[in-house]
Amino acid sequence: MCSRRGLTLLGVLLALIAVIAGQTKTVPCKLKDAKYGKVCVCTADYCDYLENPTVSKDNEFALISSTKQGLRFAVSSGQFGNKDKYTIKDFEAAASQTEAANETIIERLLQQAFPQTDKAQSITRAVTLNVNRSQQFHKILGFGASFTGAVSYLLENYKEQALQDHLHKSYYAAEGLGFNLLRTSIGGCDFDLSAWAYNELPENDTKLTAMDKLDARDVIRVAQMKHLIEVSGVKQLKIKGAAWSSPKWMKTNNRWTGFGRLKRDYYQTWADYHLKWVDLMEQNGLPIWAISTGNEPMNGILFMFFVRFMSLGWTPWRQAVWLNDNLGPTIRNSKYKDLVIFGNDDQRYTSPYWFKIMKYARPNVLDYLDGVALHWYWDEIFGNSFVDKTNDYMADKLLIISESCIGDKPWQQAKPMMGSWERAEKMARSFLAHFNRGFHGWIDWNMILDELGGPNYVDNTVDAPVIANTTTYTEFYKQPMFYIMGHFSKLVPEGSVRIEAVASNINLDSIAFERPDKQIVLVLFNSGRADLDININDTKRGKVTVNVPAKSIHTMLYK
């Protein structure tokens, strides 16, 4: 049974002493009320972490819990086969002395006589979850975030190295979210202080003579990414690059944005550009795992009236020609022949038709692609059938979400909604939908943004799992989205295999994995407004009933 009534001052001080002494990897969240919910505060000398729980007995389980009410990675444990129900008690904020003093005797009597309760929360629903580890599906590649120019800029403004380190470790350390993937732009992107690319000058330079060293902006970013690896201890970080736009002189419109495609004369130059960037990163101590054929190619073809940031337009036909005749051979005939190449890097509505047209243009072109990268925007309008058809057509390829954030739609608030559990729930539903449909990995968008959802040189602001305090640069805030991602990533290392987990009704959303060490991980998501009895039935381990609060998510680990 798990009970958490908030952090007392004594608890915070004891945890702080333990952190300074280096005696623990588990530090509780320093919870703070925000406009739309609750956030966790990180400062240079305090940031929450959770050492991965372990189970020693065959019938034992560990459970990590987060709730809308305020639990953040709360840990409890129990045993299979026990007839007692394990109840996860939700967070309860302690009333302040002032509130208690102001409460009159009459008010207390009225509350006892006429208790104000949520009818849905007074109901406990039930569901049975059957876990069959003999039915196995696809392997998991991993989880990650994106290191943009905006992230680099904010890190530079955090002058205390300890606070920068907390951000890196919160995402990539084992006691953080355990991420192992990272996406970065080749040149600039919209989350930069301005548009830029390598070799802007000299123009018409097919030899790319100015691309012999890192751009000054990348000197800073590369140093920061190398430090991330050092302080987080992440093993075999997989870095994926994607270009938003070529230099303007390579484009038909000679502009960063608008209706602009790559000039045919520069097809090979653009392929060489990618190879040179990979080589520059390797020379500077950051081996690149993967690249894509370009970020959101439809932005420069159909959506130039709405998209004001850097873009390079492609039709699938022309991209097939470039990939088949230029980029593919250039990479495969280089020392980076094993570099992973992702196709599309755009919305799901373009897929799988994008690849079908590519194959029609060049019958063998898909042989150069190792994977499919999709962005999650507009998923509410374009349903899961697009994902299913892509999975069928590209069944032998890696499938990842390579970009996701909230606040991009006209009807959404285009800036952070501090503490929003509803935005976190949207992320949980998307994780479940994609991984239950054969996806291998997920890369979120910016690691950190400011209070307005930037910086972004065209004010294309959005939300992020971590928000900076740019007034003082002495703290940052972890939102519910941060913890939702961790419920999927933290205990599911690369090489884990999705196994069958079937719920008896719609009260529970779930997914299950078998890790390389043969331990089982269940992610249990109760998005309803009522508490839920989850009757777990594992074909090998047996049965257990866990009662979880409304609006909560849990990760269970057992042998």
* Full DSSP string of 60-95: EEEEEEEETTS--SEEEEEETT-SSPEEBPPP-PPP
Residue 443 pLDDT more than 60?
Answer: yes
CA 100 to chain centre: 41
Confidence of residue 159 (pLDDT cuts 50, 70, 90): very high
User: pLDDT digit string (tens) for 315-333?
Assistant: 999 999 999 999 999 999 9
**Are 394 and 355 spatial neighbours (Cβ–Cβ below 8 Å)?**
yes
Confidence of residue 99 (pLDDT cuts 50, 70, 90): very low
Determine the pLDDT at residue 4: 39
Determine the pLDDT at residue 410: 67
Confidence of residue 386 (pLDDT cuts 50, 70, 90): confident
Query: Which residues contact residue 9 at a Cβ distance below 8 angstroms, ignoring those fewer than 6 apart?
Result: none
What number is the average pLDDT over the span 420-439? 96
Q: Looking at per-residue confidence, does 21 or 191 come out higher?
A: 191
Determine the pLDDT at residue 105: 56
C-alpha span between 144 and 179 (Å, rounded): 5
DSSP at 18 = H
C-alpha span between 297 and 127 (Å, rounded): 44
Residue 97 pLDDT more than 80?
Answer: no
Residue 218 has φ and ψ, to the nearest 5°, of: -75, -25
Joined together, the tokens standing for residue 488 give 């999927």
Residue 469 pLDDT more than 70?
Answer: yes
Confidence of residue 19 (pLDDT cuts 50, 70, 90): very low
What number is the average pLDDT over the span 527-548? 97
Minimal CA–CA distance to 393: which of 443, 347, 358? Answer: 358
Determine the pLDDT at residue 162: 97
User: pLDDT digit string (tens) for 345-376?
Assistant: 998 888 899 999 999 999 999 999 999 999 98
Determine the pLDDT at residue 188: 98
Residue 100 pLDDT more than 70?
Answer: no
What number is the average pLDDT over the span 119-127? 77
Determine the pLDDT at residue 409: 67
Peptide bond into 352 cis (omega under 30): yes
Confidence of residue 94 (pLDDT cuts 50, 70, 90): low
Minimal CA–CA distance to 281: which of 158, 410, 186? Answer: 186
3 state DSSP class of 124: strand
Query: Which residues contact residue 341 at a Cβ distance below 8 angstroms, ignoring those fewer than 6 apart?
Result: 290, 291, 292, 293, 323, 327, 328, 331, 368, 369, 370, 371
Confidence of residue 10 (pLDDT cuts 50, 70, 90): very low
DSSP at 30 = -
3 state DSSP class of 333: coil
Confidence of residue 304 (pLDDT cuts 50, 70, 90): low
Q: Looking at per-residue confidence, does 450 or 303 come out higher?
A: 450
Determine the pLDDT at residue 192: 98
Minimal CA–CA distance to 148: which of 181, 187, 177, 176? Answer: 187
Query: Which residues contact residue 128 at a Cβ distance below 8 angstroms, ignoring those fewer than 6 apart?
Result: 503, 504, 534, 535, 537
Task: Read off the pTM.
Answer: 0.91
Determine the pLDDT at residue 376: 86
9-94+116-137+498-558: what CATH class? mainly beta
C-alpha span between 554 and 495 (Å, rounded): 21
Return the half-sphere exposure (C-beta side, CA atoms, 13 A cut-off) of residue 532: 26
Minimal CA–CA distance to 260: which of 353, 197, 212? Answer: 197
Q: Which of 100-114, 401-415, 437-451, 481-495 has the lowest mean pLDDT?
A: 100-114
Q: State the average pLDDT for the chain.
A: 91
Share of the chain above pLDDT 90, in %: 82
Determine the pLDDT at residue 385: 83
Domain boundaries, the chain: 9-94+116-137+498-558, 145-466
Determine the pLDDT at residue 414: 72
Could you tell me which residues are beta bridge partners of residue 510?
524
Domains 9-94+116-137+498-558 and 145-466 share a fold: no
Name the CATH architecture for the domain at 145-466: Alpha-Beta Barrel (3.20)
C-alpha span between 23 and 19 (Å, rounded): 6
Determine the pLDDT at residue 236: 93
Most confident of 93-107, 114-128, 440-454: 440-454
Q: Which of 96-110, 144-158, 378-392 has the lowest mean pLDDT?
A: 96-110
Q: Which of 207-211, 390-394, 402-406 has the lowest mean pLDDT?
A: 390-394
